[in-house]
Amino acid sequence: MEEAKTQFQLIQAAYDTLSDPQERAFYDRNRDSILRGKASEGGSKPETLDLFKYFSSQCYSGFNDSEKGFYTVYRQVFEKLAVLDMQYMDDEEEEIFIPSFGQSDSDLEDVGRFYAYWSSYCSAMDFRWADEYDIREAQRMGRWVEKKIEKDNNKARQKARRQFNEEVRALVAYVRKRDKRWLERKKQINAKIAENAQKQLACQQRQREERQKSMKEDVEQERANLAAYEEQLKQLEGQFAREWGLTDSEDSYQSEEGEAQEETEGVAENQETGEEELLLDDLYCVACNKAFKTEKAMENHQRSKKHKENLEALKATMNAEDRAFFNTTAFDNEAEQQNLDNIIPVITVALTNTDRENTKKV
């Protein structure tokens, strides 16, 4: 059972590594070193730390704080790396703080700070052991050879630093993926992200409602302003009509009809009382049966198409009635008949002159 459990853990660890694209790429580049548990270039240098043996689940036993536990093994690894870097940090005045890996019960905030620092790790070591040439041998070969050797050695150091930084960052990703504390930390982060998303949605909804309310208030205010403007315009139109004697819409029309009706009733009363003369006001239109307050209104009315039509209709009606009446009446002599022929055009001309020259009597 123990052997089967061990083999199953190895298979599970291999599956976790190969299923992750980044881990698999790093494994493919360093397959021989990982399988042997040491660097492939003749062993590690004295100043460095061989990290390849820690890319396997066989280096720890269980996720606990025991001597071979997950948290103890990797805490010691990162402590050794921190010691190596601190040896090359020459700024003594600046306080150097490198987060520790911690234990199984470490605070999750400290766990987050640890992974934030080591995920962007950059070594402070100078990697002089990676030099290809001995600079002391170049001193007797001339200045040009010495510069060439220094340039080649710097390239070798930069290459070794990049490789080591890549190894450390890959190890950090490998450990973080299996760290129970980080998984719990991710849950908290995701919960906080979801909470912030809900707050943001609520804030957006509140802002949207406030904008809609503001737009509604602006529309109502605009309507109120428009109503006030229309009322002011009506007052100005009424004032203009009173000053210039103009009629407007149905109210003015009804007012004119009312005045015309009153005038007609007055004429009927005069007829009943036996008055022989019919007095017409200067601003009264016989054809349209309307009275006006000012001469300007009377002139505008006389130029209207409706007035002209009513006038022509009145002339035609009177001519027809007169002809019908006089044709049915007998005359004593030809003189009276001649007078009748002269009366009809005279009446027509009189009506036209009355309407045009605003006379008082017909």
The domains of the chain are located at 2-178, 280-357
The secondary structure of 270-287 as a DSSP string is HHHTT-------TTEETT
pLDDT of residue 140: 64
Q: For residue range 131-169, what is the model confidence (pLDDT) as tens digits? A: 887 766 665 666 777 788 788 888 988 998 898 999 899
More confident residue, 328 or 98: 98
The answer to whether the CB of 311 falls within 8 A of the CB of 301 is: no
Mean residue pLDDT of the chain comes to 76
Q: At 100, list the tokens.
A: 């520790």
- Least confident residue range of 121-130, 135-144, 279-288, 349-358: 349-358
Q: For residue range 187-237, what is the model confidence (pLDDT) as tens digits? A: 888 888 999 999 999 999 999 999 999 999 899 999 999 999 999 888 888
Q: What is the mean pLDDT of residues 278-307?
A: 77
pLDDT band at 362; cut points 50, 70, 90 = very low
The answer to whether the CB of 159 falls within 8 A of the CB of 130 is: yes
Is the pLDDT score of 52 beyond 60?
yes
Q: For residue range 289-298, what is the model confidence (pLDDT) as tens digits? A: 888 888 888 8
Rounded Cα distance between 305 and 91, Å, is: 106
Neighbours of 174 (CB within 10 A): 23
- DSSP symbol at 63: S
- Least confident residue range of 20-24, 125-129, 207-211: 20-24
CB neighbours of 33 closer than 8 A, spacing ≥ 6? 39, 40, 52
SS3 300: helix
